[in-house]
Amino acid sequence: MRFSVVDVGYDQRQVDSCLNELGVRLSRLAARAAGAAGAGREWDEIREEAAGLCGLLQRLDLGDVARRPANAADRETAEREAAELLLRARLEFDSAREEARRVREQVYTEAVQARRELEAALHARQCRAARADEILGGWAKAVPADTPTAASAVGPGRAAR
| pLDDT confidence of residue 34 | 66
Tell me how crowded residue 82 is: count the other CB atoms within 10 A of its CB.
Answer: 17
| pLDDT confidence of residue 113 | 94
The whole domain housing 30 covers: 12-100
- Domain assignment present for 159: no
- Domain assignment present for 125: no
pLDDT in tens, 118-160: 999 999 999 999 998 888 876 656 666 777 776 665 556 555 5
- Domain assignment present for 142: no
Q: With a cut of 50, list the residues of the chain below it in pLDDT.
A: 63-69
| pLDDT confidence of residue 142 | 62
Contact 36, 8 (CB under 8 A): no
Tell me how crowded residue 123 is: count the other CB atoms within 10 A of its CB.
Answer: 10
| pLDDT confidence of residue 80 | 86
- Domain assignment present for 123: no
Q: How many domains are there within the chain?
A: 1
pTM over 0.75? The answer is no
| pLDDT confidence of residue 152 | 61
| pLDDT confidence of residue 101 | 92
| pLDDT confidence of residue 62 | 53
- Domain assignment present for 133: no
- Domain assignment present for 135: no
